[in-house]
Structure 1
Amino acid sequence: MHYFSFCCVLESLITCQQTLKSNMKKKFQCLSEGISKPGKPTYLNQIYTELYITEEESGKVNNEHEVIQIESVTWKPDRPETAIRHEDIFKPSPVRDEPIRTVMTKGVAGIGKTVLTQKFTLDWAEDQTNQDIQFMFPFTFRELNLLKDQQFSLVELLHHFFSETKGISRFEELKVVFIFDGLDESRLPLDFNNNEILTDVTKSTSVDVLLTNLIRGKLLPKAHLWITTRPAAANRIPAGFIGMMTEIRGFTDPQKDEYFTKKFRYKEQARMVISHVKKSRSLHIMCHIPIFCWITATVVEDMMNKEDGEDLPKTLTEMYIHFLVVQTKLKVIKYDGGTETDSIWSPESQKMIESLGKLAFEQLMKKTLIFYESDLAECGIDIRAASTYSGVFTQIFREERGLYQNKVFCFVHLSVQEFLAALHVHLTFIKSGVNLLAKEEMKSKDVEERYHESSETEMYQSAVDMALESPDGHLDLFLRFLLGLSLETNKRHLGGLVTQREESLATNKVTAQYIKEKMNNDLCVEKSINLFHCLNELNDQSLVEEIQQSLQTGSLSAHQLSPAQWSALLFMLLSSEKDFEMFDLKKYSASEEALLKLLPVVKKSSKVILSGCNLSERSCEALSSLLSSTTSSLRDLDLSNNDLKDSGVKLLCSGLMSPDCELEILRLSGCLITEEGCAALASALTVNPSHLKELDLSFNNPGQPGKESLAALLKNPSFKLESLK
């Protein structure tokens, strides 16, 4: 009887599992780029490209704008990293014996996190991978948000979302995987400090309590969890509850080329697009994000079909203006029955774009990227209008349906929201003179008074200030778009949507000068780089041209360069298409000030020559920090003929002993080093013996004990040291 009962339970489990797999295959097998196109399904298995997933250090939160984070990836070295295939996400690695319970995968918007989890689920449902897993439960925080005020037990929640499992009431002994996609979109408090501890899967409570206890391992401790998020929200879950932190890096340069080659029918077209994208640093950086490759391809494909031979977009603003024009033209032809020659800026189209722009701006200020009915109502958009917009502008604004047809809205990508937000601010000022970025005291005045008091210049300066004051850089791209929209050429592309104002040309010069003055302040590298992109949007290359002229004439002097000019030099070097095999500081300025200003270039280079550059302890401290960085490319460092002394070498040694230091060659010839400095070097190499192969200490005074301590390392087979001078 007992055996018979067991067989019945097993049969029931298998039936539930097969039904769940069948439904998941139907749900996840089709996918469209951008968003779904009715009648044009694309099969996920046909277009999926294996994304580059790497293990990251837990607990680190990056508060930079995501485009800056993508940009920093292009400066990172090709150092060996462990790539993880999606199907192996929970499997033990060579450095871990134990299976991993909870994995967090972070990545910027549009990088492919959702597609990754869909592919993982589809492979399981199609019996391709992970067949030891009995049940897989993919959730999105967008849907869980809708249940924020409701009560469920964990079993009830599973039955609610996955009705196929209603025949199962016990999951404790089953091997299950929970996927929670989009932590950054969660409106649940996730209160790990105050939520009650719960171990009973049949006890009803809030969804928030269920989630925190699942993540803690109090509920279903044997279950596996996979959580995806944008980087800024990664710290919403305490690091102690995350078994492994991973990151999706997006397209590599070869993958970008592969994407465009597949996208365009003719190879010559693909080659032209690839070449054009590489010429623009802004476009090249953004193409690390798969969805931006799609936006670029959409725009270029449309422009190639025209006969006017218009130049391809060179800046981000140009690209997004053309994208908006393409989508509006599609709306005119598809929904309004118009033709290619009809004006696209009908009153109805203008109203839709203005409404979407208002929504984009107000929600961007709140850092909100998904919108429910209440969010739409706050912006004066009713649910019916929102559904219409998503149906008409299908590639810009989309509607998703959760269980029971609850509607969730969002823009197709964060950058599209940022562009439309900037367009809204721009249009509002042009049409009414109202500066939406003015301080609160200005906003309280009536429109006419504000019109006289707030000029276009003041609006752009307000935007620059706001972006610089933002600790997480969330207005960086918004600022680029807003400044780009001020150009006459870009206004012409928008045709009837934007009317002309007289002051634009003079305004642009004043704004560019204001940005340069800001760059003379003590800004971090990321802020300076973004301001350079802003100057590029304004078509102002003067700073870069000044530096290029100085380099060509050999008149570059560290003492004469302003902070803005230093930023220009740094921007030029980091934007160079040349491989950073070798960086020689003397080509620019043999000074400590120059080294400290150009440290990001040193970090990117594999061989760095700093000999005879008048360096001191201060440089050693900065270089030590760089040596211990996980993102440093430095393998060969020449510090010869600088008066570093023992005190400087000791500072350098704290970097040398770091497990992340992979320096192979170190030249310290003629640096006034004595026995004390040699002892510090020997100690550092004892802690980290794995990489340094060559050490040059000639023309120093190490004394006999110093020579002996280092010579012992040369003889020891545990050390990589091969050459000692």
Structure 2
Amino acid sequence: MVTEVRGFTDPQKEEYFRKRFRDEEQASRIISHIKKARSLHIMCHIPVFCWITATVLEDVLETREGGQLPQTLTEMYIHFLVVQAKVKKVKYDGGAETDPHWSPESRKMIKSLGKLAFDQLQKGNLIFYESDLTECGIDIRAASVYSGVFTQIFKEERGLYQDKVFCFIHLSVQEFLAALHVHLTFINSGLNLLEEQQTSSQTEEHFYQSAVNKALQSPNGHLDLFLRFLLGFSLQTNQTLLRGLLTQTGSSSLTNQETVQYIKMELSENLSAEKSINLIHCLNELNDRSLVEEIQQHRTSGSLSTGKLSPAQCSALVFILLSSEEDLDEFDFKKYSASEEALLRMLPVVKASNKALLSSCNVSEEGCEKLLSAVSSQSCSLRELDLSTNSLKASAVKLLSAAVESPHAKLNVLRLNICELSEGNCEALSSVLSSQSSSLTELDLSIRKLQDSGVKRLSAGLQRLNCKLNTLRLSGCNLSERSCEALCSVLSSQCSSLRELDLSNSDLQDSGVKLLSAGLKSSQCAVETLSLSGCLITEEGCTSLASALSSNPSHLRELDLSYNHPGDSGMKLLSAGLKEPGWRLDTLRSRMFPEGPGGSSVASLLFAAGPPPVCCDLHRPSPTLLISAVSAPWGLVP
């Protein structure tokens, strides 16, 4: 059993702040500010961050009416730390609101907690024991005092065996204090704690660049937020907020600019999408939004739809799309680029979207592996994936099948039309259809040479108890009556969930339709929409269909017999059923071609000639049959 813990949605974020701030005008101002400061808005999916933000903004609005609200993550957490120091000063030390916030005791507490935070972050620990605290020079009595005074930062709890354990209220608070410790150590002594060989002669430029390198080398991204905080501390404005805690300041605007340029240089390298996005966040903490603004201008003008995006531009675009107020319902990759490199950099957008259109993006096997790893991740929101017109090899389809079967995958719709699929691929897909963890409800395999053997393999999965598929599109898959035999078993299966079946543009002929009709007669059949356009069906096939509908009239609502040869008697037979009260059929589609040159069937010329512009449909209730033959595109007269 997998339990997924999800954060606040955008409406829930707004609801939280409106409940916290009863003054409607004040709540609206706060919500508006958070939406504009997009990095803050993104972080607000974490409930604890919403609470931190509300705590800070409430204090800022009360003490500095009309003052500027925090714009970056580092600013927000510095304000939060200052609020906690103020609470300690007033509540525990008996001081006044106007007194200096930082007493020698408070400074010692924060510095000790910072060392603990950094040491344990390096080890990947979120829970600490007495021995961990002792290593940082904190005795157990002091730790209890810390948790009692800085209750909103540090907590003392009882473990499984009633032993004392300690933790920070949230990992982000631990990362913030860890970055503060590294910053204070470098400013006060010149030591770079991020390097194994620590020297006191490093320049500020090297210090911040080494921090960027260290975070990029982390295999699991555990230093990503730490890096954002550390770079944020380099700004003079943030150091001013910490006056009283800092005994001296460092970093110049020139140093910050060099750090910005270094980050932009790293963005041009072959980084993972997640690391690239974090570097964009780092630029935001340094108050440099030039790259994002440049892409925003191009996007507004529409110039991003042509040409190849650079790695840095891709990262900036991802940041913009992820932080946009617009709902990521559909992501159409062709609007931005057609290169696989760009696609891999934009995987975070794919994961955040409900629908991803990735047709004709020339994804390789390696790229497909990375894409599908993202699709099967727990954080992926994707419901619909279009990979049509890509040359997917057998191994890639197997990877795709494994991804869809993942317990974390939420994929409902998969489009693989005009892809290089084989009979072996159908076996892998059949396994997906019968998997208990698969959520797939629609599969499009149109215009591929699956042939009858491939459909036979698919049909095995369609009859399994766990199969949830209700829409199957096999248009133009080179099928014959043998496929209809396999599909007949599916239609009459008690386990089948099929509601829509598209078998258009195959040589099923009357013999195939007769087999298919046997399945339609079954009381287990629940198909509501059936497309048999261009299947070489004559009056005989229509007779079989009419018989099936009479035997099991309760389900089929729409039938498409366009580009066939039903004759007047065949269509009259079916259209008469529209008047039957027991039939649910309410739409009968019939586009008709005359004979082609030399008596050749229209179905065989359909793809070469293109469909006609006229559709003749018959809907219930209709007293007359509205069928007309349209002139064939090759200019013959019916």
Scaled to the shorter chain, the TM-score interval is 0.5 to 0.7
Deviations 1:414-440 (A, max 9, x none): 32222111111111111221111122x
**In the superposition, relative to structure 1, how do residues 612 and 274 fare at CA in structure 2: closer, same or farther (>3 Å)?**
same
What pairs with 1:180-259 in structure 2 (closer than 5 Å)?
246=3, 248-249=5-6, 251=8, 255-259=12-16
Counterpart check, 1:430 vs 2:205: no
- Residue 197 of structure 1 is matched in structure 2 by none
| Contact in 2 for aligned 1:357/1:420 (Cα 8 Å) | yes
CA distance in 1, matches of 2:399, 2:321: 19
Q: Hey, what's the Cα distance between the residues in 2 that align with 1:652 and 1:590?
A: 27
What is the deviation of 1:398?
Answer: 4.2
Q: Which runs of 5+ in 2 are unaligned?
A: 362-388, 504-638
**1:656 shift after superposition:** 4.4
- 8 Å CA contact 1:617, 1:647 repeated in 2: no
Asked if structure 1 preserves the Cα contact closer than 8 Å seen for 2:146 and 2:154, the reply is yes
Question: Whose relative contact order is higher, 1 or 2, with alpha carbons under 8 Å and at least 6 apart?
Answer: 1
Shift of 1:334: 3.4
What displacement does 1:399 show?
4.7
**Aligned AA for 1:662?**
S
The residue identity in structure 2 corresponding to 1:661 is S
1:487 to 227, 235, 257: 235
Q: Which position in structure 1 is the counterpart of 2:59?
A: 302
Whether 2:361 is the aligned partner of 1:617: answer no
**Contact 1:558 / 1:594 at 8 angstroms: preserved in 2?**
no
Match of 2:326 in 1: 578
Identity %: 60
- Indicate how the Cα distance of structure 1 residues 606 and 402 shifts in structure 2: closer, same or farther if over 3 A, else same: closer
Secondary structure of 2:57's aligned partner: helix
1:723 aligned residue: 501
CA–CA distance in structure 2, aligned partners of residues 582 and 404 of structure 1: 50
Would you say the 8 A contact 1:422–1:478 is kept in 2?
yes
Q: 1:451 aligns with which of 186, 192, 200?
A: 200
Paired with 2:353 and 2:72, the residues of 1 have a C-alpha distance of 28
Question: Is 1:354 the equivalent of 2:111?
Answer: yes
Are the structure 2 counterparts of residues 513 and 700 from structure 1 closer, same or farther at C-alpha, using a change threshold of 3 Å? farther
Listed as ranges, the matches of 1:509-528 within 5 Å are: 509-528=257-276
For 1:690, the aligned partner's letter is: C
What residue in structure 2 maps to residue 329 of structure 1?
86
Does 2:48 correspond to 1:291?
yes
Q: Secondary structure at the match of 1:395?
A: coil
Q: Post-superposition shift, 1:320?
A: 0.8
SS at match of 2:226: helix
How far off is 1:300 after superposition?
1.5
* Alignment deviations for residues 186-225 of structure 1 (CA, whole Å, 9 cap, x no partner): xxxxxxxxxxxxxxxxxxxxxxxxxxxxxxxxxxxxxxxx
The one-letter amino acid paired with 1:295 is I
2: distance between equivalents of 1:555 and 1:429? 44
| Cα distance change of structure 1 residues 468 and 589 upon mapping to structure 2, 3 Å threshold | closer
Task: Tell me which moved more, 302-311 or 677-686.
Answer: 677-686
1:411 corresponds, among 149, 155, 168, to 168
Cα 1:378/1:565, change in 2 over 3 Å: same
Which residue of structure 2 aligns with residue 421 of structure 1?
Answer: 178
CA contact (8 A) 1:602 1:634 kept: no
Asked if the contact 2:451/2:477 (under 8 Å) is kept, the reply is: yes
Residue 109 of structure 2 aligns to which amino acid in structure 1?
M
Which whole-Å CA distance do the structure 2 matches of 1:584 and 1:311 have between them?
38
Alpha carbons 2:463, 2:493 under 8 Å: kept: no
Structure-2 separation of matches of 1:676 and 1:575? 47
Q: Secondary structure at the match of 1:666?
A: strand
What secondary structure is seen at the aligned counterpart in 2 of 1:723? strand
Give the partner amino acid of 2:216.
L
In structure 2, distance between residues paired with 1:703 and 1:592: 37
Q: How many residue pairs were aligned?
A: 473
Shift of 1:707: 4.9
- CA drift of 1:486 comes to 1.5
Q: SS of the counterpart of 1:305?
A: helix
Deviation at 1:596, TM superposition (A): 5.2
* Secondary structure of 1:540's aligned partner: coil
Aligned residue among 284, 289, 297 for 1:541? 289
In the aligned structure 1, how far is the partner of 2:166 from the partner of 2:473? 62
Secondary structure of 2:69's counterpart equals coil
SS at match of 2:63: coil
Q: What is the match of residue 77 of structure 2?
A: 320
Q: Which residue of the partner structure matches residue 363 of structure 1? A: 120
One-letter amino acid of the structure 1 residue matched with residue 391 of structure 2 = S
- In structure 2, relative to structure 1, the CA distance for the partners of 1:583 and 1:708 (3 Å cut) is farther
Deviations 1:645-675 (A, max 9, x none): 6676666555445433323333333345444
Shift of 1:490: 1.7
1:425–1:435 Cα contact (<8 Å) kept: yes
- Cα distance between partner residues in 2 of 1:681 and 1:547: 45
- Cα separation, partners in 2 of 1:585 and 1:677, compared to 1, 3 Å: farther
CA RMSD between the two structures: 3.8
Equivalent residue, structure 1, for 2:337: 589
Task: Say whether the 8 Å CA contact 1:434–1:451 is kept in structure 2.
Answer: yes
Q: Structure 1 residues 382 and 410 mapped into 2: Cα distance closer, same or farther (>3 Å)?
A: same
Alignment of 1:383-402 (within 5 A): 383-399=140-156
Q: Quote the residue 2:490 is aligned against.
A: 713
Larger radius of gyration: 2
For residues 489-534 of structure 1, the C-alpha deviation after alignment (integer angstroms, 9 at most, x for no partner) is 2222223433675643333333334344444555444444433333
2:23 maps to which of 266, 275, 284: 266
Report the residue type matching 2:255 in the other structure.
T
Q: Give the residue type in structure 1 aligned to 2:132.
A: D
Q: Are the equivalent residues in 2 in contact too, given 1:610–1:638 (CA < 8 A)?
A: no
Q: Distance in 1 between matches of 2:330 and 2:130?
A: 56
Letter of the 1:724 counterpart: D
CA pair 406-582 structure 1, distance change in 2 beyond 3 A: closer
Separation (CA, whole Å) in 1 of partners of 2:289 and 2:10: 26
1:265 Cα offset (Å)? 3.5
| 8 Å Cα contact 2:42/2:323 also seen in 1 | no
Residues 549, 633 of structure 1: CA spacing in aligned structure 2 closer, same or farther, 3 A cutoff? farther
* Comparing 473-482 and 380-389, the one that deviates more: 380-389
**Secondary structure of the residue that 2:255 maps to in structure 1?**
helix
Counterpart position of 1:43: none
Partner AA of 1:412 in structure 2: I
CA distance 1:513–1:350, shift in 2 (3 Å): same
- Relative to 1, partners in 2 of residues 1:506 and 1:680: Cα closer, same or farther, differing over 3 Å? farther
Going from structure 1 to structure 2, the CA distance change for 1:424 and 1:647 (only over 3 Å counts) comes to: same
Of 667, 670, 681, 2:447 maps to: 670
- CA shift in 2, pair 1:367/1:488, >3 Å: same
Amino acid at match of 1:615: N
**CA–CA separation in structure 2 for the residues paired with 1:533 and 1:650:** 44
TM-score by length of 2: 0.64
**Any conservation in 2 of the 1:558–1:591 contact (CA below 8 Å)?**
no
Mapping for residues 12-91 of structure 1, pairs under 5 Å:
55-56=1-2
User: Which residue number in structure 2 is paired with residue 380 of structure 1?
Assistant: 137
Shift of 1:616: 0.9
